[in-house]
Amino acid sequence: MFLEKINCPNDLKSLNTKELQELAKEMRAALLHRLSKKGGHFGPNFGMVEVTIALHYVFESPKDKFVFDVSHQSYPHKMLTGRKDAYLYEEHFNDISGYTNPQESEHDFFNVGHTSTSISLASGLVKARDLKGEHENIIAIIGDGSLSGGEALEGLDFASELNSNFIIVVNDNDMSIAENHGGLYKNLRNLRESNGTCECNLFRAMGLDYAYQKDGNDIEKLIETFEKVKNIDHPIVVHINTQKGKGYKIAEENKENWHYCAPFEVETGKPIKAISGENYSTLTCNYLLEKMKQDPKVVAIIAGTPKTIGFTEEKRKLAGKQFVDVGIAEEHAVAMASGIAKNGGKPIFATSSSFLQRTYDQLSQDLCINNNPATILVNGASVYGMNDVTHLGIFDIPFISNIPNMVYLAPTSKQEYFAMLDWSIEQNEHPVAIRIPGNGVISDKRKVDTSYDKINQYKIQETGSQVAILAVGDFYQLGENIVKTLKEKLGVVPTLINPRYISGLDKKLLEELKANHELVITLEDGMLEGGFGEKIASYYGTSNIKVKNYGIAKSFPDRYVADELLRQNGISVEQIIEDIEKFLK
Amino acid sequence: MFLEKINCPNDLKSLNTKELQELAKEMRAALLHRLSKKGGHFGPNFGMVEVTIALHYVFESPKDKFVFDVSHQSYPHKMLTGRKDAYLYEEHFNDISGYTNPQESEHDFFNVGHTSTSISLASGLVKARDLKGEHENIIAIIGDGSLSGGEALEGLDFASELNSNFIIVVNDNDMSIAENHGGLYKNLRNLRESNGTCECNLFRAMGLDYAYQKDGNDIEKLIETFEKVKNIDHPIVVHINTQKGKGYKIAEENKENWHYCAPFEVETGKPIKAISGENYSTLTCNYLLEKMKQDPKVVAIIAGTPKTIGFTEEKRKLAGKQFVDVGIAEEHAVAMASGIAKNGGKPIFATSSSFLQRTYDQLSQDLCINNNPATILVNGASVYGMNDVTHLGIFDIPFISNIPNMVYLAPTSKQEYFAMLDWSIEQNEHPVAIRIPGNGVISDKRKVDTSYDKINQYKIQETGSQVAILAVGDFYQLGENIVKTLKEKLGVVPTLINPRYISGLDKKLLEELKANHELVITLEDGMLEGGFGEKIASYYGTSNIKVKNYGIAKSFPDRYVADELLRQNGISVEQIIEDIEKFLK
């Protein structure tokens, strides 16, 4: 086995072509081993095996520097840079993250998980190299799907100004997560079909030199291609046609479903754990499809991740022109939603909390200053969301709720979520964001309101005294548990409040609490700093009411266990009851 | 005079070419009248007179819908849509804003002030129109300078997917605010030089149809061009070459200085009020130039607005390759700064608070997760900054200070600002943002620290009791005034604290205050919600210390008077003293 002997990129330089091809096979087997057992990004890595071998064969990492865009195609790179054990041996699976990570290896330069950043990050390496008068190669590796993102296009446009060695490898597998959307993909197709010769060329139009390699899974040809551009004295795009999922037939045939995989049976491709029970993606999709039938003005928008709200290929067909995938282009999505709302449509844009960060200014400028009634669905905005440092969903309350005019809603049950969503779609007064609950689909018997017109009116769910608990969104159930334990253990009957609106204060209710409460507790499933609880603390700042805020302290936790993280932040029924007990003494 | 009779676009449809040309002259005279007396965006509007006449002549606004990018070229549009008096008569100057504004006119569809948004906003109008089965023309008008912004490029890429009437007018005057930067501008030049015929074409590479008009200040030819695309059934780019500042020789000859103007003498172009005294732009530029001489790794980065830190053409030349204008591309700027820092350079990226919003995700993902030691200078982050609703500088503390790892510094004097800047450039541990003071260049005799390594260590400037005042950044002087008045009027000697770090708490100091203080006051020059003061309130939430936060309540104020806005928010020495007096009773 060759792979076992590769401890650094140098170790593959003595191999001949046939041996390198053998190595590629071993690497795919190792990928299959890890991914079938642990899950992860599948298609991008299977497609990139040969490109990665050729890159490490030709260049001298880490002196020469690779920057992988989004880096979910960096597994082969990890294998060749001292981290093969994490693919070969189950006991080492957790040694590594799913993305490039400078804490893991000197061959990685950035923690990367959002798309479209590689060209800009790498151009910084280029600029610093030039200022220092050094001469290594800097190579950005970006997939076609990531090219539609604003940051990638800004980087591509700026690259030609650098005027020195800079190699941008475009890994074109003719797919984003789902199919690509955007006019530039027609140009990529024309380039592929003309073997890179067609005159109209996006990259040349951006001022860059250009080379094409149609055999993106042929090591020999790739080595030849990279040898030609090594030590080049100006920026160049090397456009390579690879096959997503290459080498695993089931993935080759269903690229969208095999972009990312859960653990699966290698022979059949079937997931090992069947997903059961309700989930908000499917429920939201079905609700929206029904809504679309009733009203042609309803339109769902997503940015490259259709399944975030359950839009499988089949359901996208059902929605027809009432479904828009803008590609990876969140900024465009929010601005377009604002325009649709302005002209009488009913847009719903859905993405994850982490990716919504990419469109903060559009939320503020394009949407909220204009006060257009678009709906934003925020997925994974929870400590229970994705736990990679680059995909954390815990920052949404600070960055969304503090934008003026935005009504940010936190439903506490399935019934409340759909009531809020329905209200939002039908109202004409406010930009509205809704936090999709992160703690599973919970139904209960509480009656929910159908109108949310009375902005910032909180709801008292249980009336008590001494202690009031403001339990936001999917921490409502935590609030219920605290109430129960307080009654049982301390004989205290607290007031339980469902704030519903994260973006403002119900000052009337907060005033009324003063009459017979001493302590107000806030519970929010997200970062404390800049969040909901601090506003309550500020409101009561000069009063005799004491306030204790619970949430995650400002930090970038990585690959955490949710319950552990919560406990570290003092968030569990036991810890909170203990705090209250101390206070009431 | 024709202009006086134009109350709506219909009124110009009966004019013949010669009369329209006469109208253009009158419009330029009106522009000169207003701009020489009041100031405003000069070059973009002078260049757009004929295009705007032709657009309104050919299309039927407001049924047909125009969306002006950044909208600082929308003055001629305002003149032709019922708002001519605001250009003709001094007493009506304040009737209008400097940007499109739906509250002013049914011919305006969005409040716009940030660049690069028009294509995406207009594509929303297109999508809604199509869903409703209607058929009006939708026209986005975007300048060449705005094209480098990520949102514009995302919009351009997506436009071709719309597959129905959509006209994108590219107003190419071969200038951004300063000269253009980015590879795409080479392509625009090739297109201009080939009269639109060169095969490699950015817009076609984005999947769009394309037309070129070289005579962008010739009404007759423009009308002909627009007639051809009116009611077109697919998206098309109409690329028009105009002359920035056209019709005012001084502006034609110095496009950069005449992008925006203060009131000036019409004959000479000289500003009426000479600018005197120190300003942070010039001071910062001179400091950086000195720093660059000492260290070739120091590099200043700006995004299309070089003068934000004083880099005039002359000083840009002095800086050479140690100065980078990335064009309007803030996302790229921050990511590149992170890359430069990673590779051993010392980057300083400067922009205004409002424009920095455009790069929230890059601050978080590209910079702060990677903890690279880049410096971000935040200009106009103050109630004393720009007061148009689209350019407010009051949101920076919430959106910057809550990003983990970011050290956000608020200097309270000239000496402290430069000490912080110097420390930031030389340290290797943290991404640092520095708020350039907004209340003028203030020197005082306080000794400032040279190192800020002790993160979150506040500084006690005056020791007292009962009341502690945490006076952040450029509200430090307000704090001093309150101290003085408290002593004089109430005989109270309070503690005055300069927090210096906006992004974290000095818990040791806050604990110590408990010993002999009853009230803690926070003063911050920005929005309260999500800001600094709320963190202090949360910290003291369960203690006996009372906290009162002063700042601007969440809102989008427009064209406000700073002192009035502050007073409305309870921020003046008198109001605060009154609050304290009540509390101490």
Per-residue model confidence as pLDDT tens digits over A492-546: 999 999 999 999 999 999 999 999 999 999 999 999 999 999 999 999 999 999 9
State whether residue B352 sits within 8 Å of chain A by CB: no
pTM value is 0.98
A residues 39..98 contacting B (CB < 8 A): 65, 67
Closest residue of A to B158, CA-based?
A: A182
Can you tell me the mean pLDDT for A485-497? 97
Residue intervals of chain A classified under CATH 3.40.50.920 are 459-584
Per-residue model confidence as pLDDT tens digits over B287-325: 999 999 999 999 999 999 999 999 999 999 999 999 999
- Please state whether the peptide bond connecting residue B62 to the residue before it is cis, i.e. omega within 30 degrees of 0: yes
Judged by CB atoms closer than 8 Å, whether chains meet at A181 and B199 is answered as no
Judged by CB atoms closer than 8 Å, whether chains meet at A402 and B530 is answered as yes
Give the pLDDT of residue B180: 86
Closest residue of A to B541, CA-based?
A: A547
State whether residue A510 sits within 8 Å of chain B by CB: no
**At A520, which amino acid appears?**
V
d(CA B270, CA A183): 47
Can you tell me the mean pLDDT for B367-393? 97
Residue intervals of chain B classified under CATH 3.40.50.970 are 17-261, 280-435
Q: Which CATH number fits domain B17-261: 3.40.50.300, 3.40.50.970, 3.90.1150.10, 3.30.70.270?
A: 3.40.50.970
Q: What's the pLDDT band for B64 if we cut at 50, 70, 90?
A: very high
Can you tell me the mean pLDDT for A172-186? 89
Judged by CB atoms closer than 8 Å, whether chains meet at B402 and A110 is answered as no
Enumerate the residues of chain B whose CB falls inside 8 A of the CB of residue A341.
124, 128
Give the pLDDT of residue A180: 86
CB B332 within 8 A of CB B153: no
Give the pLDDT of residue A61: 98
State whether residue A208 sits within 8 Å of chain B by CB: yes
How many interface pairs between A and B have CB atoms less than 8 angstroms apart?
A: 424
Residue intervals of chain A classified under CATH 3.40.50.970 are 14-261, 280-435
Can you tell me the mean pLDDT for B12-32? 97
A residues 5..44 contacting B (CB < 8 A): none
pLDDT > 70 in chain B, percent: 100
Give the pLDDT of residue B355: 98
Burial class (CB in 10 A: 0-12, 13-18, 19+), A193: exposed
Per-residue model confidence as pLDDT tens digits over A291-303: 999 999 999 999 9
E strands present in A18-173 = 40-41, 65-68, 138-143, 166-172
Q: What's the pLDDT band for A157 if we cut at 50, 70, 90?
A: very high
Which is more confidently placed, A176 or A53?
A: A53
Judged by CB atoms closer than 8 Å, whether chains meet at B340 and A125 is answered as yes
d(CA B162, CA B235): 7
Judged by CB atoms closer than 8 Å, whether chains meet at B124 and A156 is answered as no
Enumerate the residues of chain A whose CB falls inside 8 A of the CB of residue B546.
541-542
pLDDT higher than 90, residue A57 = yes
pLDDT higher than 80, residue A275 = no
Q: B196: closest CA among B186, B188, B184?
A: B188
Q: What's the pLDDT band for B79 if we cut at 50, 70, 90?
A: very high
Give the pLDDT of residue B176: 79
Q: A281: closest CA among A408, A440, A475?
A: A440
pLDDT higher than 80, residue A111 = yes
pLDDT higher than 90, residue A585 = no
**B335 → closest Cβ in A102, A120, A199:** A120
Give the pLDDT of residue A184: 97
d(CA B371, CA B369): 5
Enumerate the residues of chain A whose CB falls inside 8 A of the CB of residue B541.
537, 540, 546-549
State whether residue A201 sits within 8 Å of chain B by CB: yes
Per-residue model confidence as pLDDT tens digits over A553-570: 999 999 999 999 999 999
State whether residue B181 sits within 8 Å of chain A by CB: yes
Mutate to test the interface with A, among B99, B121, B346 (most CBs of A within 10 A): B121
- Please state whether the peptide bond connecting residue A62 to the residue before it is cis, i.e. omega within 30 degrees of 0: yes
Give the pLDDT of residue B396: 98
Q: What's the pLDDT band for B276 if we cut at 50, 70, 90?
A: confident
Class of domain A14-261: alpha beta
Q: Say what the ipTM of the complex is.
A: 0.98
Q: Which CATH number fits domain A459-584: 3.40.50.920, 3.40.640.10, 3.40.50.1000, 1.20.1260.10?
A: 3.40.50.920
Closest residue of B to A296, CA-based?
A: B131
DSSP A166-220: EEEEEEE-S-SSSS--STHHHHHHHHHHTTT--S--HHHHTT-EEEEES-TT-HH
pLDDT higher than 80, residue A94 = yes
Give the distance from residue A488's alpha carbon to the nearest chain B alpha carbon, in angstroms: 24
State whether residue A368 sits within 8 Å of chain B by CB: yes
Judged by CB atoms closer than 8 Å, whether chains meet at B205 and A200 is answered as yes
Enumerate the residues of chain A whose CB falls inside 8 A of the CB of residue B519.
542
Judged by CB atoms closer than 8 Å, whether chains meet at B182 and A161 is answered as yes
Judged by CB atoms closer than 8 Å, whether chains meet at B365 and A345 is answered as no
The answer as to CATH 3.40.50.970 being correct for domain B280-435 is: yes
Give the distance from residue A120's alpha carbon to the nearest chain B alpha carbon, in angstroms: 5
Can you tell me the mean pLDDT for A400-428? 98
Give the pLDDT of residue A375: 98
Q: A325: closest CA among A117, A178, A143, A436?
A: A178
For helices B476-485 and B573-584, the axis angle rounded to 10 degrees is: 50
Give the pLDDT of residue B179: 86
Give the pLDDT of residue A382: 98
Judged by CB atoms closer than 8 Å, whether chains meet at A556 and B404 is answered as yes
Enumerate the residues of chain B whose CB falls inside 8 A of the CB of residue A373.
none
Closest residue of B to A518, CA-based?
A: B542
